[in-house]
């Protein structure tokens, strides 16, 4: 049963969820808007059990946590494609991350498909079905939605159950099911789902190229920007651009005055400037950590040689086993291991340990311990 309309009444939503969805696996996708807010604005959720499909309006003043309670229970497999943003929204709606998530994009990375393959592309490759993406730029907050927009949204879940079954069986056939579940569990656990401002400065691409004193100021301003964006529910760049953070930090280092650039929106620049100055005055700088000689991101000499050798070694194994090397051996994971060898590192433990030669790893890294 395919419902070609947007469900907007509480009773029809509950009726669909309770009477139509009986499967132990449910496909889910969420359309949202994030053009002028910090938090994503959920607009439509598409749900399918493989036979019954519907779009539910998420802009209504309803308690969706209570409505979705049974659907997102631990007894059901929740199928998504590229789940990161959808789970962020479900966390906002439900107050928790649902269990038993199966991400078809993540699963495909263990089966020889390209890293982060799109939903339409993998459906075409496996089932030879073309998915129309002409409504991709839809304003999902706008009502009413056209029949074409609703069909576009439904297409994102209609084939998901079938895709899950295909990938699950292939993972099982190739003995990679355990690898997928272990790595996906690590992936979910490593994400900070609730907004945090403490390490917002890490978003600044040029932070480590700055003079230590300027860097300290830029960190404080970045944390302030994150807090303000969360407070006002505005995009970070609407509050302050990265280039402005750098320029303001450099200027403050020279004359101890915060001069924020004038923006076209209605933000109170004078008030914000005072707030930032107060943040700087009240912040206890860790002079030891911030005055250390700035380390370059790329290891030099022997470190670079070891990183490159490890990278090539792992990449060859990933190609041999048809696992995306971005999943199997992220460059950051290798770099961290070389800089700080740890026997508990995921690089040499868990499912990866079953595919690598630990003696070979020891040989490659031997020069670092000599």
241 dihedral zone (left: phi>0; alpha: psi -120 to 50; beta): beta
- pTM of the predicted model, to two decimals? 0.88
Q: To which residue do tokens 């002028």 refer? A: 36
Structure confidence at residue 370 (pLDDT)? 63
- Within this chain, do residues 6 and 152 fall inside the same structural domain, yes or no? yes
171 located within any domain:
yes
| CB burial readout 333-342, b (16+ within 10 A) else e | bbbebbeeee
Q: Give the full edge-to-edge strand order of the sheet including 25-33.
A: 2-7, 53-57, 41-48, 25-33, 77-80, 101-103
Residue 211 lies in a domain: yes
Helices within 233-345 (DSSP H only): 236-239, 242-255, 269-282, 287-290, 301-320, 325-328, 331-339
Last residue of a domain, one of 290, 315, 337: 290
Q: Are residues 232 and 110 in the same domain?
A: no
286: enclosing H helix or E strand = none
248 with 115, same domain: the answer is no
Instruction: Specify whether the CB–CB gap between 67 and 204 falls below 8 A.
Output: no
What domain range includes position 94? 2-190
Enclosing H/E stretch for 296: none
Whole-number Å distance between alpha carbons of 234 and 141: 17
| Angstrom distance (rounded) from CA 346 to CA 231 | 36
Q: Where residue 324 sits, what CATH number does that domain have?
A: 1.10.150.80
From the number of C-beta atoms within 10 Å of its C-beta (0-12, 13-18, 19+), residue 242 rates as middle
Total number of domains constituting the chain: 3
CATH number at residue 239: 1.10.150
What CATH number is associated with residue 121? 3.30.420.10
Do both 76 and 107 map to the same domain? yes
Examine the domain organization and report whether 332 and 353 are in the same domain.
yes
Same domain as 207, residue 180 = no
pLDDT at 133: 84
Find where tokens 């089966």 sit: 111
Considering the domain boundaries, does residue 295 fall inside one?
Answer: no
Q: Does some domain include residue 195? A: no
Cβ proximity of 257 and 251 under 8 Å: yes
Per run of 10 residues, the mean pLDDT along the chain (length 370 residues) is: 93 93 93 94 96 96 93 92 96 94 98 97 98 90 95 96 98 98 96 89 91 94 96 95 95 93 81 93 59 48 88 96 96 91 93 96 84
């Amino acid at each position: 049963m395919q419902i070609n309309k947007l469900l907007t009444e509480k009773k029809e939503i509950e009726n669909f969820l309770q009477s139509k969805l009986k499967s132990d696996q449910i496909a889910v996708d969420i359309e949202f808007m994030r053009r002028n807010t910090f938090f994503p604005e959920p607009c439509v959720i598409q749900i399918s059990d493989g036979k019954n499909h519907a779009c539910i309006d998420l802009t209504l003043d309803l308690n969706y946590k209570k409505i979705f309670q049974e659907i997102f229970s631990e007894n059901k497999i929740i199928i998504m494609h590229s789940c990161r943003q959808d789970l962020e929204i479900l966390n906002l709606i439900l107050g928790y991350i649902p269990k038993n998530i199966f991400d078809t994009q993540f699963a495909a990375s263990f089966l020889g498909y390209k890293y982060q393959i799109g939903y339409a592309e993998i459906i075409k490759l496996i089932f030879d079905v073309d998915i129309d993406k002409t409504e991709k730029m839809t304003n999902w907050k706008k009502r009413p939605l056209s029949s074409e927009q609703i069909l576009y949204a439904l297409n994102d879940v209609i084939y998901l159950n079938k895709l899950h079954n295909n990938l699950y069986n292939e993972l099982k056939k190739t003995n990679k099911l355990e690898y997928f579940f272990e790595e996906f569990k690590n992936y979910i656990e490593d994400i900070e789902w609730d907004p945090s401002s403490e390490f917002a400065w890490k978003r600044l691409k040029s932070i480590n190229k700055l003079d230590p004193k300027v860097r300290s100021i830029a960190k404080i301003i970045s944390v302030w920007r994150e807090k303000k964006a969360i407070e006002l529910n505005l995009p970070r760049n609407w509050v302050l651009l990265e280039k402005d953070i750098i320029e303001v930090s450099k200027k403050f280092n020279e004359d101890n005055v915060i001069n924020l650039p004038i923006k076209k929106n209605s933000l109170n620049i004078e008030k914000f400037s005072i707030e930032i100055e107060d943040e700087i005055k009240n912040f206890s700088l860790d002079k030891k950590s911030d005055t250390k000689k700035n380390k370059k991101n790329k290891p030099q000499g022997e470190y670079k040689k070891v990183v490159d050798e490890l990278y090539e070694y792992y990449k060859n194994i990933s190609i041999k086993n048809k696992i995306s090397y971005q999943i199997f051996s992220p460059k950051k994971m290798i770099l961290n291991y070389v800089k700080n060898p740890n026997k508990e590192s995921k690089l040499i433990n868990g499912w990866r340990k079953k595919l690598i030669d630990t003696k070979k790893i020891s040989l490659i890294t031997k020069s670092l311990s000599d």
